[in-house]
Structure 1
Amino acid sequence: MPIDISKLITVIFTLFAVIDIVGSIPVLIGLKGKMGSIRTLQATVVSGVFMVGFLFVGEQFLAILSLDVHSFAVGGSIVIFLIGLEMVLGKEIFHSETNAKSGTVVPIAFPIIAGSGTLTTVMSLKANYEDWYILIGIIINLVIVYLVLRSLSYIERVLGEAGLAAIRKFFGVILLAIAVKIFGTNVSQFIK
């Protein structure tokens, strides 16, 4: 089967935009500061397991829990909202995430990297693209995620404390807006 490069590029860039690892850098640096370190490989692998799992059994998994994609998205949006609020206000909300083991899975692998938006997008892409295009897109994005996570200390040194504070506030507002959009789009499904 020949590879349609335009389809592959569309899937890769759609996932890249939704994962938004570059926009998450200030959040990740803040969490790294609280936890001491981030287990880069573990965060990447766990995120990949979530994405690939949702590609193949996402809807069935949610159905077993008597949930739908919209409930899942609303829950994820609340966590994203709290992270954004923490960034903007400079107040610590996630007090329990002080060790790298638990913090690497929640909130880093989920919902920051493989959040409800990403997992919903993975399932939505199935309507237009073959599974293997999506799988390749996931793998390429995981490589990017891994490289960004590995470079956090370098990025932090380059930005400095003042630059990091400014970027953290800016992306905090963006994260709040994304959370509100995800919440608003999905909560309307409960009203119908």
Structure 2
Amino acid sequence: SFVIFFIAMEMVLGLTIFKEEAPETVSIVPLAFPLIAGAGTMTTLLSLKTEYQTQNILVGIILNMLFVYFVLKNTERLEKLFGKTGLNILRKAFGVILLAIAIKLFRNNTGL
């Protein structure tokens, strides 16, 4: 839950907590896969598994896959629709949601 918390803080406050690599050391990697099914996603799934039934998690995964497919398929249209300011607002809004998830997981796991 700490990883999710720090990622959410980066999104909401615009901070850089995790060190970025210098451009000369960056390798070419597919961007979509690590963001959609990376370490944060796996950490969230493992944390949710302790609290919810498998069927509920599977329904959430399927709905999320459909949403991600729609967004990736229509990225250019969405960028034009929202503009730079709208995208920043969405980033902060989803950061707040992610922050709430991280805090809830932390409270549940520590018993506070």
Equivalent residues in 2 for 1:9-88 (5 A)? 77-88=1-12
Aligned identity (percent) is 40
Distance apart, 1:164 and its partner CA:
1.8
The CA distance in 1 between the partners of 2:64 and 2:99, in whole Å, is 23
Of residues 22, 28, 43, the one that matches 1:116 is 43
Q: Which runs of 5+ in 2 are unaligned?
A: none
Distance apart, 1:161 and its partner CA:
1.2
Aligned partners of 2:47 and 2:105 also within 8 Å: no
Q: Does residue 1:93 correspond to 2:48, yes or no?
A: no
Q: Which runs of 5+ in 1 are unaligned?
A: 1-76
Distance apart, 1:170 and its partner CA:
2.7
Of residues 54, 59, 68, the one that matches 1:145 is 68
Distance apart, 1:85 and its partner CA:
1.1
SS at 1:101's partner residue?
coil
| Cα gap change, 1:121 to 1:179, in 2 (>3 Å) | closer
Structure 1 letter corresponding to 2:88: A
| Cα gap change, 1:111 to 1:151, in 2 (>3 Å) | farther
- Cα deviations by residue, 1:134-166 (Å, 9 ceiling, x for unpaired): 76x445542332222333332222111112222
TM-score (norm 2): 0.63
Aligned residues: 105
Q: What residue in structure 2 maps to residue 53 of structure 1?
A: none
Aligned partners of 1:88 and 1:169 also within 8 Å: yes
- Relative contact order (alpha carbons < 8 A, sep ≥ 6): 1 or 2 greater? 2
The CA distance in 2 between the partners of 1:143 and 1:177, in whole Å, is 23
TM-score (norm 1): 0.42
Structure number with greater Rg is 1
The CA distance in 1 between the partners of 2:31 and 2:81, in whole Å, is 24
| Cα gap change, 1:106 to 1:148, in 2 (>3 Å) | same
Aligned partners of 1:81 and 1:176 also within 8 Å: yes
